[in-house]
Amino acid sequence: MSLAHEAPLSGWAEPFPGANYLRQTLAVAESDIRKLIHDPVELFTRMVQPVLWLLIFGQVFNRARAIPTGGISYLDFIAPGILAQSVLFGAIFYGISLIWERDLGIVQKFLVSPAPRSTLVLGRAISSTARSLCQMVFVYVIAALLHVQLRFGIFALAGVVAAVMLGSAIFSTFSLIVACLVKSRERFMGIGQVLTMPLFFASNAIYPLSLMPGWLRAVSRVNPLSYQVDALRTLMIMGGSSAFGIGHDFLMLLAAFAVVMAVATRLYPSIVT
């Protein structure tokens, strides 16, 4: 497909190359974000889970001192993992909205517009990142109240924002792929439940890689959540260290996003057939 086919079709000039692509992508994101502003209850209900993990699981294991955490408290160790987990849990069920909107005929309306398929996928990824940033603010507040040793430097915070957004974009787009494959709400919920816990436990979110048996460590190396947690642990916590190297973390996250974007863009139209 040549780029000429994706140029404005109704005779409107683009102020700069790609302006139309950007406008269409942001329109998809805006549609979802406006709905969230009209009804933000979902954001509040999502706050319960990280509170439980930090307040109960984190506090108890903090006393046990059973897990090697590389010189930081267990609560400090687990806080980035819980942030990544809350982003994952929010994003992994995001695809059900696609099935819901397909049943209502909204997806069809988007698909008959001249917006390239990739804008429809990317726009949804962006709206998912907006939700994840609300989660991030909330986890920071809880972590601060529990005296987690947080870093507040501008570059550290920018890095955390980037890692949170990338993680959310990856898992929400992965969720779209699942939705396009299973096509029904019931099957989606079943598969979503099956996927969440393995993704979480096969990562370094609540224990370090060194404690894992070899096979689990191998699985965790292909789990994008591990790279997100690793980056967060370095950027979010005083004295936190990276097992893979932060550049490597972001490279892996970007590669994972490129893969899920490509697959989702290809599968997206099949949701209506």
Site for another protein, rule CB under 8 A? 1, 4-6, 8-10, 12, 14, 20, 23-24, 26-28, 30-31, 34-35, 38-39, 101, 103-106, 108-116, 269, 272-273
Nearer to another protein, 114 or 245 (CB): 114
Residue of 47, 18, 224, 24 lying closest to 122 (CA atoms)? 24
B/e letters for 89-106, b = 16+ CB within 10 Å, e = fewer, are bbbbbbbbbbbebbeeee
How far, in Å, are 88, 122, 248 from residue 252 at the CA level? 16, 18, 6
- Residue 104 in 3-state DSSP? helix
How far, in Å, are 68, 127, 225 from residue 214 at the CA level? 17, 37, 18
- In the complex, the smallest distance separating the C-beta of residue 109 from another protein, rounded to whole angstroms, is 5
Nearer to another protein, 106 or 130 (CB): 106
Nearer to another protein, 5 or 63 (CB): 5
- In the complex, the smallest distance separating the C-beta of residue 112 from another protein, rounded to whole angstroms, is 4
Nearer to another protein, 67 or 130 (CB): 130
- In the complex, the smallest distance separating the C-beta of residue 24 from another protein, rounded to whole angstroms, is 6
- Residue 223 contacts residue 199 (beta carbons within 8 Å): yes
- In the complex, the smallest distance separating the C-beta of residue 234 from another protein, rounded to whole angstroms, is 38
